[in-house]
């Protein structure tokens, strides 16, 4: 998205604002599906959340967060009558047209991702098996399409670049090991009983679980949301809070969208820092207030939604 914005918005300050909107949109859009955000995925894999309730219960809070944040941030944009705001797209490189075969592989890969929650719901098998099945299907498809006919035409090296093993060799191994280390560390804290003690302390200090989830979301703006969610999963038991309990849903929402409040709070924000040289203070001054407004509006919508459902069930 930042690459696209660079082609149509020449002004750096305006482009940064639009980039910040992309960060907010990416974080808000990710929390309402099991595969859209790493925190929601963690809760889904660990059986704190299931597919359909997550989609139905978190869609409107996420949408409200998005609309409120973007409405607030857009107040800083110049008047639409300013003709210098946008420029005609000027691609910097000549790109080869995408072939039908490449479109088919892309569509098949996208379908494989979307089928993961469906596979889980229909079979009851762990989500990672669905993902590995999709990977195997793409692997088989690409081998059938690119081998052996094109090996003679293009040469082995060119064909190898288009295969799954070549893609797997470019994985962010350091990032995977980082998350592995975090989860192992949280596991140690869980087994030692420290997370349970923290849960007891929070329950005694804060009035209710909704406020606890809100505080966890605010903390995710400073601390990576993966360890926060992993710690929360160790603090509260599934025997006490069942699958799709409002606590888990609110934590998924808060941890996912709370990271938008500060530029360092989410992977998309950190990416924007690198691509557009956005610094911490600029984001704090221009975006944080809008992101916080959307964050609290989404929480309000979620609580009102639950209240309305409870009232309807009571009648």
Using one digit for the tens of pLDDT, what is the confidence trace for 97-136?
Answer: 777 888 888 899 899 888 888 888 888 888 888 889 988 9
Better-predicted residue by pLDDT, 197 or 304: 304
Using one digit for the tens of pLDDT, what is the confidence trace for 143-155?
Answer: 888 765 554 445 5
Q: What is the pLDDT of residue 77?
A: 80
Long-range (24+ apart) CB contacts under 8 A made by 241-244 are: 241/48, 243/47, 243/48, 243/49, 243/50, 244/48, 244/49, 244/50, 244/53, 244/54, 244/57
Asked if the model's pLDDT at residue 25 lies above 70, the reply is yes
Q: Is 298 within 8 Å of 65 (Cβ atoms)?
A: yes
Q: What is the pLDDT of residue 83?
A: 46
- pLDDT category at 169 given cuts 50, 70, 90 is confident
Which H/E stretch holds residue 21? helix 12-30
Q: Is 265 within 8 Å of 259 (Cβ atoms)?
A: yes
Spell out the domain ranges in the chain.
2-314
Handedness of CA 183, 20, 251, 201 (dihedral sign): positive
Beta-carbon contacts of residue 136 (< 8 Å; ≥ 6 apart)? none
The span from the CA of 19 to the CA of 295, in Å, is 18
- pLDDT category at 92 given cuts 50, 70, 90 is low
The closest alpha carbon to 225, from 50, 26, 42, belongs to 42
- Stretch among 5-19, 39-53, 70-84, 130-144 having the lowest mean pLDDT: 70-84
Q: What is the pLDDT of residue 158?
A: 60
- Give the helix, strand, coil percentages of the chain, each rounded to 5: 75, 0, 25
Asked if the model's pLDDT at residue 93 lies above 60, the reply is no
* Mean pLDDT, residues 203-217 taken together: 87
Backbone angles phi, psi at 93, to 5 degrees: -135, 155
Structure tokens at 180: 């592995």
Better-predicted residue by pLDDT, 53 or 119: 53
Residue-wise DSSP of 73-135: HGGGSPPTT-TTS------SSPPPPPPHHHHHHHHHHHHHHHHHHHHHHHH---HHHHHHHHH
Q: How far is CA 255 from CA 27, 40, 226, 268, 286, in A?
A: 9, 9, 8, 14, 21
Please state, rounded to an integer, the average pLDDT across all residues of the chain: 84
Using one digit for the tens of pLDDT, what is the confidence trace for 258-279?
Answer: 999 998 888 888 889 888 888 8
Asked if the model's pLDDT at residue 297 lies above 90, the reply is yes
Asked if the model's pLDDT at residue 10 lies above 90, the reply is no
The closest alpha carbon to 36, from 253, 293, 228, 182, belongs to 253
Q: What is the pLDDT of residue 252?
A: 94
């Amino acid at each position: 998205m930042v690459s696209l914005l660079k082609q149509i918005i020449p002004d750096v300050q305006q482009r940064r604002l639009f980039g910040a909107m992309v960060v907010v949109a990416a974080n808000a859009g990710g929390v309402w599906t099991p595969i859209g955000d790493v925190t929601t995925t963690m809760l889904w894999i660990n059986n704190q959340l299931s597919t359909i309730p997550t989609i139905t219960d978190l869609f409107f809070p996420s949408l409200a967060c998005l609309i409120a944040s973007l409405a607030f941030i857009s107040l800083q944009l110049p008047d639409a009558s300013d003709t210098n705001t946008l420029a005609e797209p000027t691609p910097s490189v000549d790109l080869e047209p995408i072939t039908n075969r490449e479109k088919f592989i892309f569509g098949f890969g996208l379908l494989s991702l979307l089928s993961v929650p469906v596979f889980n719901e229909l079979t009851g098998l762990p989500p990672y098996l669905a993902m590995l099945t999709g990977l195997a299907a793409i692997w088989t498809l690409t081998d059938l399409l690119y081998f052996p006919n094109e090996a003679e035409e293009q040469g082995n090296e060119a064909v190898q670049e288009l295969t799954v093993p070549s893609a797997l060799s470019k994985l962010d191994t350091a990032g995977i090991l980082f998350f592995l280390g975090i989860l192992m560390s949280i596991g140690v804290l869980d087994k030692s009983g420290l997370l349970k003690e923290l849960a007891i302390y929070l329950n005694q200090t804060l009035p209710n679980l909704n406020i606890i989830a809100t505080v966890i979301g605010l903390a995710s703006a400073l601390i990576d949301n993966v360890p926060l969610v992993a710690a929360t999963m160790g603090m509260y038991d599934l025997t006490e809070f069942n699958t799709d309990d409002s606590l888990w849903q609110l934590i998924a929402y808060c941890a996912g969208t709370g990271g938008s409040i500060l530029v360092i709070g989410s992977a998309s924000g950190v990416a924007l820092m690198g691509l557009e040289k956005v610094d911490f203070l600029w984001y704090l001054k221009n975006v944080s207030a809008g992101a916080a407004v959307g964050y609290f509006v989404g929480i309000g919508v979620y609580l009102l939604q639950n209240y309305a459902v409870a009232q309807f069930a009571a009648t």
